[in-house]
Structure 1
């Protein structure tokens, strides 16, 4: 039955949301319980007051009135606190979603995060959870489900007490056990009808929600295109604005049509529920009135039991309505829940990285091969390579030779398809991942620079060692340029989130190198570190590299063969294999791939 399914969905949602709101279950349980109990306290003490007054026991009536006022004050206090907390969570739901998605994204191993399947899952999770009636409304709906579930329990308890009060000697059918049996059967039949209608409505809404997902995804993509400043030139030059706006308008219209249809379906269901509520309310009053008329229950208890039976109908219908809302919204949010529950890593070791002041970290590839997921083409094939302590090693080769892939394997951004990599003779998969990656400072060819303060870009933190920062800026010959900036090292870069300073590609590359030096890791990797620099600036950087990195182990990837002369040894990759290995002079003398690449470039500098 769909109700059982709803509770499995509820448990799954609570499990996920507790990562952002650890006290959610306690708050909605306490708030739901008290909000449900408050009306029954009113009914119970009101009936007691009326019965005491009729009996002339005024002191007891006054005491029950005091209990009524006191219980309502306490209930109002608790519900106000819980409502306020729930409201804050609901209002901040978008921020919680972003934080949870960001945290999960960083938990995922890079290889999995880079997969198109994962990227699509993240996109769907973001769109669905941030949409209208998404994460925040689901919290509110969950609160209502708990409230009405408790209300059903309370009303059933009071109704059972009423049903047990029979007297076959008074009033005939309405005060006999037969009336109780008939009333129970009527309610069971109505419950079955309501559950059937709810299941049917959930199926209809789920179908419309799934059909609307693609409209939302494409509309969100076009919205990002329109509002991205980087696209502005192409949109204007090629007059794409009318096409994009029309596509956006059409998608929004199609999406709104689906929501209008869902509103109609839910409206029809609400009308049917209202009819059921009126029927059950009428039956209840006839039943209770007869019991009171024939003296089976006190007159004052009419208020209590009529209210209880009215509540059981009202609460059950509201419970089902919120379950419907929760279930069809769960279909929307399944993309978010599934992404958050996705396994983060295929394997994470437990060994800590040994902290060494002497930098004795020896990395070695042992017959390593690698193919990208869903591909049989080997990017790397049976690579055996050792990185000796303090060695300056250059990695060269034609485009597609596997140079960057080798670096990603070394940094454990990918896992080898075959073979293994060791650090100090231990398989790197046995080390704790977060500690292992701290062994590397890397400047990737497509490095990222962020619209934050320059010092934060370099330090990767708001806690900054400014003496160390000044030192690395001098090493990359940026100190003078930075000192002339508006706010010095605290100057904001770019204009994405405020007024900042634009920097050239060469300056960004120097900042990226400064960031690698600032981290002060024992192994430095530079993937095309000077691609945006002119030849003179490049030569100056390389001439100072040995001084910059001291005695650290370093790996350089470059398409400019002249940079390799600064290295101790050179590895030439060709079609994923180590084709040549040696010093600059040794490889030139072999007249092989390296010599061909070097001589081809050299002619342009002669």
Structure 2
């Protein structure tokens, strides 16, 4: 039912209205200017078949040279002026607008990607929709979604040209028109059937394109360049690239095969259609029913009539393709967020730590029946420092994403200060949380802007200095000639620098501290730090999390001692909870993991190794 509703909502007329409205809001003259080309192009086409008739009639009737030259000159000048007007309208005004208009849609698509609910972005269906929106806005404006309106204008021109030539051929024989139209209707149905097939196979091809793009993009990813060389991944990358390219090639062959059959059928129709019309025309001239000039006029009209019809068929095919791309774009752009975006519940004060409660929370990813977390009940008190531990894949990061509101539980609820977080405005709720995740996100701007996300005039420099000092990165920043104005991402920015993994983590910690939210989440924040830097952070942990509720995720159980409480997630549930000493005394899973991790640091083991 939802699929049928989508089809109805994004039909051709709806897409046409959408594109006209978007163009009107973007540049009004872009809506009207193209229509000026319609009469000028049709007039040029008429003159193209009328001038030969004038020449032959003048010769046949011995028209005076002066009169003949004047007629021919005026018609030629008129054709030149009309051709220039058409070219100027298309290239100087309309196509220029379309190129920028394409950027307008591209920016809206990019904004939607970064603003949409995280579950939509992360789900398999969401990734497919994103890929289809990318394909709808390919770089070639002649085939992507912005070609919809130009193709529509060209279709209108071809239809008007077709009817204008009908007026000439009616004088010859109306039956010819009917036969020509019938042959082209058959061709149109064939073209539309191919376009429909391409649209229905788009999801499968989008998945394949996404896989190929991933393999190709990884080859230029500087973060794995060392792995590619050290582990000789070139063979694997080449084999995967060849596999996906072979899949893509097979699809292209299927499409080309259908197009070839279409062209072959068109050629057969052309032979039967035009051949019959020309035989009829020659027969009428031999029977003195038409003059030589009229023969040339009708001959040109039949040829032109066929060309108008061919262009109508071609434009319908291209317009159909563009229509499907507008459909894909609108389907993605109109994806509704489930989380609250309107006015929500009042936020708790940002100057005080918050309480977080999970009531019977279960979670599984879209399209999967396997639970990642099963009936989690947890209360994090205001100002508490909680450590979350467990084996890889236990669900620690998923738990954090649920608390952050990035994911929604399939059952149960998450409360902050007694209010279901669904009741808060989504973006306002994000302002209550600051997080340091395992993946580092750097922008090609200065270090100061990477931390604050503010313009230079809005940066609180005193606060920035304090946060970078707490994060133990200030000294490194000040060692650069440009200090905080030093750009990052050297592959994009001029004179940019590249920080080490540990330095990047410290920078992310400074970013989290600068945001100064009442709930701070640290997901493996010391994974890339050396032991000295890690110990330095532990010693400062109370200062880093002062007056905040803190959640600390770590695989290293030795790092959890400074937290007020530790929970261990195992088998989709909270298996153990308590302080480090309490969990060690419990002699459960926590103690087992701790002993395994710590055995290599014990003196007895070290002495035996020596």
TM-score, normalised relative to structure 1: 0.73
Q: Does residue 1:234 correspond to 2:228, yes or no?
A: yes
Q: Is the 8 A contact 1:34 1:75 kept in 2?
A: no
Cα distance in 2 for partners of 1:385, 1:337 equals: 41
Give how far 1:21 is off.
5.2
Deviations 1:138-175 (A, max 9, x none): 53464143233255347648967998xxxxxxxxxx7x
Gaps spanning 5+ residues in structure 2: where? 1-6, 55-73, 291-295, 604-610
> Where does 1:9-408 land on structure 2 (aligned, <5 Å)?
10-11=12-13, 14=16, 23=25, 29-38=31-40, 80=88, 83-91=91-99, 95=103, 98-123=106-131, 125-126=133-134, 129-130=137-138, 136=143, 139-140=146-147, 142-150=149-157, 152-153=159-160, 156=163, 183=174, 186-204=176-194, 213=205, 220-229=213-222, 230-231=224-225, 234=228, 238=232, 240=235, 264=260, 268=264, 314-328=307-321, 333=325, 336-337=328-329, 340-341=332-333, 343-348=335-340, 350-352=342-344, 354-355=346-347, 356-359=349-352, 361-408=354-401
CA distance in 1, matches of 2:30, 2:444: 40
Give CA deviations for 1:459-502 in whole Å, capped at 9, x if unaligned: 24555615132221111111111111243223233443255323
| Residue 577 of structure 1, CA deviation | 2.3
Structure-1 residue corresponding to 2:525? 529
**Residues 445 and 24 (structure 1), Cα distance of their counterparts in 2 relative to 1, 3 Å cut:** closer
Paired with 1:592 and 1:434, the residues of 2 have a C-alpha distance of 40
User: Which deviates further from its counterpart, 413-422 or 395-404?
Assistant: 395-404
Following the alignment from structure 2 to structure 1, what is the Cα–Cα distance between the partners of residues 542 and 279?
91
Q: Aligned pair in 2 of structure 1 residues 405, 237: CA closer, same or farther (>3 Å)? A: closer
Q: 1:16 to 1:374 in 2, by over 3 A?
A: same
Q: Distance in 2 between matches of 1:433 and 1:17?
A: 30
Describe the SS at the equivalent of 1:512: helix
Q: 1:147 to 1:221 in 2, by over 3 A?
A: same
Unmatched tracts of structure 1, length 5 or more: 51-65, 164-173, 294-302
Report SS of the residue matched to 2:527. Answer: coil
**CA distance, structure 2, for counterparts of residue 6 and residue 353 of structure 1:** 36
Range that drifts further, 386-395 or 36-45: 36-45
Is 1:540–2:540 an aligned residue pair? no
The equivalent of 2:429 in structure 1 is: 436
> Do 1:351 and 1:432's aligned partners in 2 also have CA atoms closer than 8 Å?
yes
Match of 1:489 in 2: 484
**C-alpha separation between the residues in 1 aligned to 2:184 and 2:372?**
60
Structure 2 length normalisation: TM-score? 0.73
| Structure 1 contact 395–555 (Cα < 8 Å) conserved | yes
Q: Is the 8 A contact 1:152 1:312 kept in 2?
A: no
Paired residues, what number?
561
Aligned to 2:573: 577
Partner-residue secondary structure (3-state), 1:366: strand
The aligned residue for residue 166 of structure 1 is: none
Give the secondary structure class of the aligned counterpart of 2:107.
helix
